[in-house]
Chains A and B, each alone.
Chain A
């Protein structure tokens, strides 16, 4: 039994603004608010899953039926992504409970809640302008969180992010204005229906503006300049959330755009090529990085490149692979970030070269990191293997053997730099100095959950895939989606 899906956005938003007040009552309460709220979202998205798999759930707000009113359209795709976002959000919230020590903690929790709520809103909404609003909520809270550690680097990274982010939202807004001006509607399904009758010279400009705008959030090269800095300078848990939450919402918006709203075939090939370029440049840049979190950021971009390749294939199977890769990346990258956060904390420096011998000193953390590295390299039986396999398989089936070879070449580079770090953890003599502070149980719990999900999804990929298949179908075949939305009020 699920509650009104609007609560998934409304409650976290409301709670976010309540946090500062609750913080006055007790310092302890704000820590647990995100856990409870995002836990509720997780519950909701799991409970809705069986329903949305069959038929999109259309939530009509204030009795304005689509295409007039703002409505939530929770199809298989939106629900799966909401589930991923809530799961990552929940796990990171657990981690946050003890991780955030720096004042003002309640503001941190508030911004974090806003970010998750915004991302959830992006994947659930059926309205293009609403999408923009939620994008703004997500981005603005992300900018603030990037600068949360109030030092020079954090501020610089946040400023870069802000600059690129505002450019992107300007373009998104322009694109939406163009669409609204020509079709006279903001409902995504309705736009998809009406856009066929609009001159393609206008719509292509709208498409370009929107692709550029959402390309920034989905880390497409060359729009991803903000990512390395933001990932590495933000608090660790936020870095994890970027990979698992913000980027996923951005990719969702991009996919919605090219698959559902617009009807251009060339754009898929373009996305495919951009995916390869993104992947290769990111992996090449990662190999000589000196800072651990920066390296992880580039690896994250590389993974998104693989997702873009999958989206560019425009086949159901390919999109399934891409969604599986998004799921894996959403589980593995936070695992890597969270363990890296503590490793960096214990070594006292952000540099990879200072991680020597941590495998001896912190066996569990190092194990989680190594596990994550193996999973993201795509070694069986962990889940990364299957998604990579499907994507490469579909790429070759689509006739893009060279693209597949290049993507695999990127994977080899990835293996090299991950192994170097894992090597440092285990192969080097530990340094003498040691901080004797234990990892919090909440952090261990968070990482164990992620690791177990990765292992489980790797051993039983069909379980995950059975949910991704309807999602991929919804994306590739848009008629069912349009029909469900437009007939909802009747």
Chain B
């Protein structure tokens, strides 16, 4: 059997099977789901470097499923994180209710995402896109009661995005008579300019909702926050990447990048793309500012995720080889570090039962592994050398400077700096400071949860040290699928006209400094006394455990006052009001149905009379 349908069959099959068999016992349903994901992952790995395709006809439409370097690249993210999340879930979901439902939705989401990346035509792309929406919706509403609002918001916004995309897809179909990507790629330039721009906008709305570009992001914090922690990792790490995949398709496969030839350009970038770049940059900045003020760990990560996706969009919209490389590299980074952080927050929640940063503290000695993972995670997220986050951010700045977009670069840089604040907040409030007494007996999480997190940490170290394997893969995707000339690479140095950086040199420098500091610290302060976590003295007095010395509440008050202007304006509230007003309007309108038989009879007569008066309407 062909590999692509086989993988889809295994994944969808295991979704149904784990739900049906899952009624019997826990091991079986988790086992089926995990086995399904592992086996399909194994088959997927074998697709590397191959160019398979599988076509059939459905309802008179040609359906194409194919694999190419770009789809392999995104498929790799799906299965990489998918498998780790599934392993993490085995212990995380133990003794929880409705695990069969969880397994079903997990397998379904992974299957539909794989379907999206292997789709070679717009119809199956949309088909799997919709399945992905409802499958992840099921996950958002897993914790039933409080999740309703978040779930409906997510679903409705996704639907608006999907329908906007649908109109674009069908407009293409009306023009070309086929859904295939290839036909669109070759036919794009024949469209009129206004048609091209309309398609660009409609597709961008569709993908933008999933990628949570501001102002379409309002569902993301709630949905990420509400879904079970392992799934939040997948949600932010991979599912949102489907929007990014969409942008990659739009810009480089469908041909929106070619717009530059026909409309006004700014810095060599077509105006619509340039506007998109600003959307990306402002998303990065504003979401970061909001993330700093979050007290809910998951919401903090969610806003940070929105911000990081802004960078990726920014990279794509530059319409250059460098920008695309940067965007794709950062996408991988984001998958890795958001995976690490969401899983660690999940691990902390698993042990403490809270996600409120202000309630935690001092868990470093209880959960050292998790602490280590979060530490590496925030280093990557902040883009500090020597981990892989640095490479991604470096590339983005370089790409911006290459296009001489200084203003955008400044905004991106500001966002990156502000990100330090929430990174620090995350690690300090959870792991450092004073530990509340009720968490004294908290233990480290089981190995099934530690292993996925540690694996991801190893990956980010590896990519920081040696990003060239990945850059090569991106280069392949660019040259074969996206029609770009890949970036100039050598084995250890990234360079272009502006300058170069050697990651190995960076790694060595940082390593040396680390060793020196470590040695100095241990020799010079050898005689210092080890102090227990709660052995804190103030002015000679020993405060009791009831006195709070760990001010994790009201973090960053001055900062929050200074950005109040941004925080006060909430797109979410605006949409809420708009929806309410609209509903109020509908409510008035529905009194057309008065419930009065005479009125209804009058309607019939009026209808008849009107038609008789305007008969030439009908001829």
Q: How far is the CA of A236 from the CA of B594 in the complex (A)?
A: 23
- Interchain nearest-CB distance for B495 vs A (Å): 47
Which of A134-142, A282-290, A326-334, A472-480 forms contacts with chain B? Answer: A282-290
Taking A225-B593, A288-B586, A420-B152 as contacts, is the C-beta distance between A264 and B604 under 8 angstroms? no
Q: Which of A39-47, A405-413, A441-449 contacts B (4 or more CB under 8 A)?
A: A405-413
User: Does B127 make an interface contact (CB < 8 A)?
Assistant: yes
**Neighbour of B599 across the interface among A225, A265, A287, A390, CB < 8 A:** A225
* B489 at interface by CB-CB < 8 Å: no
Considering only CB atoms and an 8 Å cut-off, how many residues of chain A contact the other chain?
A: 68
Distance between A468 CB and nearest chain B CB, rounded to angstroms: 10
Distance to closest chain B CB from A403 (angstroms) = 11
Cα A22 to Cα B171 with chains together (Å): 60
Residues B618 and A285 in contact, CB atoms below 8 Å apart = no
The stretch that binds A, out of B70-78, B156-164, B384-392, is B156-164
In whole angstroms, how far apart are the Cα atoms of A429 and B152 in the complex?
Answer: 18
Question: Binary interface profile of B, 588-619, with partner A (CB < 8 Å = 1, else 0)?
Answer: 01101111010111011111100110011111
B149 shortest CB reach to chain A, Å: 9
Q: Which of B139-147, B320-328, B354-362 contacts A (4 or more CB under 8 A)?
A: B139-147
Do B592 and A222 touch across chains, with their CB atoms under 8 A apart? yes
Interface residues on B, range: 35 or more
Indicate if the CB atoms of B134 and A374 lie closer than 8 Å: yes
Q: What is the CA–CA distance of A66 and B590 in the complex, to the nearest angstrom?
A: 47
Judged by a CB distance under 8 angstroms, whether A6 is at the interface is no
Alpha-carbon distance A401/B173, docked complex (angstroms) = 12
Inter-subunit contact B619/A200 (CB<8 Å): yes
Q: Report the separation of the CA atoms of residues A293 and B608 in the bound assembly, to the nearest whole angstrom.
A: 29
Contact B163 A163 (CB under 8 A): no
In the complex, chain B residues whose CB is within 8 Å of the CB of A222:
592, 603-604, 606-607
A285 in complex: contacting residue of B152, B166, B592, CB < 8 Å:
B592
Do A229 and B595 have beta carbons less than 8 Å apart? Answer: yes
B155 at the binding interface (Cβ < 8 Å): yes
Query: How far is A167 from B599 in the complex, measured between Cα atoms in Å?
Result: 13
Q: Report whether A208 and B618 are in contact in the complex, using a CB–CB cutoff of 8 Å.
A: yes
* Complex CA–CA separation, A200 to B594 (angstroms): 37
A159 to B160, CA, bound (A): 40
Q: Which residue of B lies closest to A168 (CB)?
A: B604
Q: How far apart sit A252 and B362, CA to CA, in the bound complex (Å)? A: 72
- Please, which residue of chain A has its CB at the minimum distance from the CB of B179? A393
Name which of A73-81, A180-188, A378-386 contacts chain B: A378-386
Q: Is the CB of B604 within 8 A of A216?
A: yes
Whether B597 contacts A284 by the Cβ 8 Å rule is no
What B residues does A396 contact at CB under 8 A? 167, 170-171, 173-174
Interface SS of chain B? helix
Residues of A within 8 A of B163 (CB): 408-409, 411-412
- Interface flag for A177 (CB, 8 Å): no
Instruction: Tell me, yes or no, whether B58 is within 8 Å of chain A by CB.
Output: yes
| Contact in complex: B59, A207 (CB < 8 Å) | no
A residues 283-305 in Cβ contact with B at 8 Å: 284-285, 287-289
Interface string of A206-231 (1 = CB under 8 A from B): 01110110011000001101101100
A199–chain B nearest beta-carbon distance, Å: 12
A164 touches B601 (CB 8 A): yes
Q: A96 to B604: give the CA distance in the assembly, Å.
A: 33
Q: How close is B101's CB to chain A, nearest CB, in angstroms?
A: 10
B318 → chain A closest CB, angstroms: 31
Chain B residue, CB-CB nearest to A156: B597
Contact B618 A408 (CB under 8 A): no
Taking a contact as CB atoms closer than 8 A, the residue among B583, B586, B600 that contacts A164 in the complex is B600
Q: Does B131 contact A (CB under 8 A)?
A: yes
A64 at the interface (CB under 8 A from B): no
Closest to A465 in B: B59
Give A211 to B610 CA distance when docked, in angstroms. Answer: 13
CB distance from B533 to the nearest CB of A (A): 40
Does B130 have its Cβ within 8 Å of any Cβ on chain A? Answer: yes
Min C-beta distance of B148 to chain A, whole Å: 4
The interface residues of chain B lying within 8 Å CB-to-CB of A164 are: 597, 600-601, 604
User: Complex formed: what's the CA distance from A389 to B126 in Å?
Assistant: 10
Collect the chain A residues with CB atoms within 8 Å of residue B616's CB: 266
How many Å lie between the Cα of A200 and that of B133 in the bound state?
52
State whether the Cβ of A362 lies closer than 8 Å to any Cβ in chain B: no
Q: Tell me whether A416 and B604 are in contact in the complex, defined as CB-CB below 8 angstroms, given that A208-B615, A281-B589, A423-B151 are known contacts.
A: no
From A321, which residue of chain B is reached at the shortest CB distance? Answer: B59
Residue of A208, A416, A427 near B608 (CB, 8 A) is A208
Binding site secondary structure of chain A? helix
Query: Chain A residues with Cβ under 8 A from B600's Cβ?
Result: 160, 163-164, 225-226
Q: Check if A270 is an interface residue, CB within 8 A of chain B.
A: yes
Chain A residues, Cβ within 8 Å of B156: 412, 415-416, 419
- From B155, B606, B615, A419 is in contact (CB under 8 Å) with B155
- Is A404 touching B593 in the complex (CB atoms < 8 A)? no
**How far apart are A447's CB and chain B's nearest CB, in angstroms?**
18
Residue B587 at the chain A interface, CB threshold 8 Å: yes
Q: Mark A362-385, 1 if CB is under 8 A from B, else 0.
A: 000000000000100001110001
User: Is A285's CB under 8 angstroms from B607's CB?
Assistant: no
Question: Please, which residue of chain A has its CB at the minimum distance from the CB of B169?
Answer: A393
Given A167-B601, A228-B593, check contact A266 B145 (CB 8 Å).
no
**Interface core residue of A201, A267, A427 (most chain B CB under 10 Å):** A427
- Residue in A closest to B608 when the chains form the complex, CB atoms: A212
Please determine whether B603 and A287 come into contact, CB atoms closer than 8 angstroms: no
Q: Which residue of A lies closest to B163 (CB)?
A: A408
A380: chain B residues within 8 A (beta carbon)? 127-128, 130-131
Contact present for A427 and B144 (CB under 8 Å): yes
Q: Which residues of B contact A288 (CB under 8 A)?
A: 583, 586-587, 590
On whether the beta carbons of A163 and B601 are closer than 8 Å, the reply is yes
Residue among B59, B131, B170 with the highest chain A CB neighbour number at 10 A: B59
- Is A379's CB under 8 angstroms from B611's CB? no
The residue in chain B whose Cβ has the minimal distance to the Cβ of A285 is B590
Q: Are B611 and A211 in contact (CB under 8 A)?
A: yes
Chain A residues numbered 210-268 whose CB sits less than 8 Å from any CB in chain B? 211-212, 215-216, 222-223, 225-226, 228-229, 264-267
* CB–CB B167/A397 < 8 A: no
Given A285-B592, A405-B167, A207 contacting B618 (CB threshold 8 A): yes
Given A160-B600, A374-B134, A415-B156, check contact A223 B619 (CB 8 Å).
Answer: no
Q: Which residues does chain B contribute within 8 Å of A285, judged by CB atoms? A: 586, 589-590, 592-593
Q: A222-B603, A412-B156, A461-B58 are in contact. Are A397 and B608 (CB under 8 A)?
A: no
Q: In the bound complex, do residue B127 and residue A385 qualify as a contact, i.e. CB atoms below 8 Å apart?
A: yes
Cβ of B618 and Cβ of A266 under 8 Å apart?
A: yes
Measured between alpha carbons, how far is A409 from B592 in the docked complex, in Å? 20
> How distant is the Cα of A402 from the Cα of B617 in the complex, in angstroms?
20
Contact B148 A427, beta carbon cutoff 8 Å? yes
A223 — which chain B residues lie within 8 A by C-beta?
603-604, 607
Which residues 109-145 of B have a CB within 8 angstroms of A? 123, 127-128, 130-131, 133-134, 141, 144-145
Bound Cα distance from A212 to B604, whole angstroms? 7
Complex Cα–Cα for A397 and B175 (A) = 8
A390-B159 contact in complex given A223-B604, A281-B589, A420-B152, C-beta closer than 8 Å: no
Within 8 Å CB of B605, what residues of A? Answer: 167
Q: A163-B601, A288-B583, A465-B59 are in contact. List 16 more A-B contacts (CB 8 A).
A: A164-B597, A205-B615, A225-B593, A266-B618, A284-B586, A284-B590, A285-B586, A288-B586, A288-B587, A392-B166, A396-B171, A401-B171, A408-B163, A412-B156, A415-B156, A427-B141
8 A-B contact pairs sorted by A residue (CB < 8 Å): A267-B618, A285-B592, A381-B127, A392-B166, A396-B174, A399-B174, A409-B163, A415-B156
- 10 closest cross-chain pairs (CB), A and B: A225-B600, A285-B590, A284-B586, A222-B603, A427-B148, A160-B597, A396-B170, A408-B163, A397-B174, A208-B611
Taking Cβ atoms with an 8 Å cutoff, the residues of A that contact B are 159-160, 163-164, 167-168, 171, 200-201, 204-205, 207-209, 211-212, 215-216, 222-223, 225-226, 228-229, 264-267, 270, 281, 284-285, 287-289, 374, 379-381, 385-386, 389-390, 392-393, 396-397, 399, 401, 404-405, 408-409, 411-413, 415-416, 419-420, 423, 426-429, 461-462, 465
